[in-house]
């Protein structure tokens, strides 16, 4: 479980999705939850959150060129790990604050926002997925109790629609807030920066 948590927080250093799945296999086996873990994987497929290329493939179809070190993919597995008591978080939020974040997704995504703005409003996340350095793409995941999923705020480098290139040297901006266990695409609320990635997907 310790290694799973390390891999979720820094997937780029641990082999990304393949390693995450192996650790999840091991933890599920130890807890006698093999069938539950298999059902979770089937649910990912049913939701469109898992393709022949794994969760990575699902993200690639929604936000192509979304540059990170695997933290976006890790956030999906972290949500499962949280539900089953495998994810260790740094802090939890009250149900009211968690609800405020969920309900405010549209407002928070009405324009591009930087990391400092989000941290000033909500404080440090329950768990940081990805590098801690402010200049790198990452996911901030906020947790209440285990009956609620993680609210994941995805930060990535800006996609320039004029040059059709990712500005990898620019500070990451919020591209989407993701929450819910319905259809994978339906779980996203996109910022203008995220919409630019979506337009890239439609070409």
- Give the pLDDT of the chain (203 residues) as one tens digit per residue: 999 999 999 998 898 899 999 999 999 999 999 999 999 999 999 999 999 999 999 998 888 767 567 899 999 999 999 999 999 999 999 999 899 888 888 888 999 898 999 899 889 999 999 988 877 889 999 999 998 999 999 998 765 555 455 555 567 889 999 999 899 999 999 999 888 877 765 44
Residue 95 near residue 149 (C-beta atoms within 8 A): no
pLDDT at 160: 54
pLDDT at 63: 84
d(CA 139, CA 176): 10
30: exposed, middle or buried (Cβ count in 10 Å: 0-12, 13-18, 19+): exposed
pLDDT at 163: 47
Q: Roughly how many angstroms between the first and final C-alpha of the chain, as a whole number? A: 41
| 2 three-class SS | helix
With CA atoms as reference, report the closest residue to 202 among 67, 62, 72: 62
d(CA 116, CA 136): 13
pTM here is: 0.90
- Which tokens is 16 given? 């990304």
Residue 17 near residue 75 (C-beta atoms within 8 A): no
- Which tokens is 88 given? 């260790």
């Amino acid at each position: 479980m310790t290694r799973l948590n390390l891999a979720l927080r820094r997937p780029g250093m641990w082999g990304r999705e393949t390693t995450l799945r192996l650790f999840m296999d091991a933890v599920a086996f130890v807890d006698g939850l093999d069938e539950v873990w298999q059902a979770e994987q089937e649910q990912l497929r049913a939701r469109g959150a898992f393709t022949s290329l794994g969760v990575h493939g699902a993200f690639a179809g929604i936000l192509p060129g979304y540059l990170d070190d695997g933290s976006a993919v890790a956030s999906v597995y972290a949500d499962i790990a949280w539900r089953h008591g495998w994810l260790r978080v740094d802090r939890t939020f009250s149900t009211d604050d968690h609800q405020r974040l969920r309900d405010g997704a549209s407002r928070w995504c009405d324009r591009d926002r930087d990391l400092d703005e989000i941290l000033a409003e909500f404080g440090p996340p329950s768990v940081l997925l990805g590098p801690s350095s402010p200049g790198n793409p990452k996911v901030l995941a906020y947790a209440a109790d285990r009956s609620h999923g993680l609210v994941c705020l995805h930060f990535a480098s800006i996609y320039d629609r004029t040059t059709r290139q990712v500005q990898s040297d620019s500070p990451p901006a919020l591209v989407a807030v993701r929450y819910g266990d319905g259809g994978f695409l339906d779980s996203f609320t996109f910022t203008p920066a995220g919409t630019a990635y979506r337009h890239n997907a439609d070409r």
